[in-house]
Amino acid sequence: MEVGTYGLSANRYPGGVAQAGTDRITDYAFDANFVDTGMPHKSTVSAHATWIHEDEFLGASATLLGTNRHDNLDTLRADVSYSFSDRWTPTVQVFHTRGSPDSALYAGPGGSPNSDGYVFEIAYAGWGRPGAPVLWANWRAALQYVGYSQFDGARRGASANNTVYLNLWMAVAPFGALVHR
């Protein structure tokens, strides 16, 4: 189990134009994670949650793009997954975003960033576990569906932004074959 915090503070030049000054972005966040590896048959349950608050001081963007001088954004995400025998992992996630309306930044009704939705994913890990044919490498394939019930402030038509992702990754430990287990 873990509970923590993280953050970021950065200056940026919108569009790379330094003469207009800078925007200052400050994020602070809290997160929590829970993992139980004591499940039967080498299975694992895990849950994660994060809340991020962002303050945007947009002096340069206001000058260049006509944005508000100050905006904020809050994001909440939570997910739970269950790994079967270190191979198959279905995951369910929900997300919720709210923020200041700013028609120069967001195309939705009233320039709203407000979005809500869910993610369903099924992943398969090929190697990287005891008894696998290759112990010094791993690969993972996943099929993910992202659905929106609200997108940029609009509920009507939000599902037009739903997306399906198919991804594949591989990790290699080149000297892992030399390590005796």
Which residue, 129, 167, 161, 135, is CA-closest to 146?
A: 161
Task: Name the residue ranges covered by the structural domains of the chain.
Answer: 2-178
CA angle 98–74–25, rounded 5-degree value: 120
In this model, does residue 18 exceed pLDDT 80? yes
In this model, does residue 181 exceed pLDDT 60? no
Which residue, 124, 160, 156, is CA-closest to 139?
A: 124
pLDDT at position 91, please? 98
pLDDT at position 16, please? 86
The percent of residues in the chain predicted with pLDDT above 90, rounded, is 70
Q: What does the pLDDT average to over 2-27? A: 93
Indicate the burial class of 149 (C-beta count within 10 angstroms; 0-12, 13-18, 19 or more).
middle
In this model, does residue 179 exceed pLDDT 70? no
Confidence label for 124 from pLDDT (cuts 50, 70 and 90): very high
CB-based contacts of 174, cutoff 8 Å, min separation 6: 136
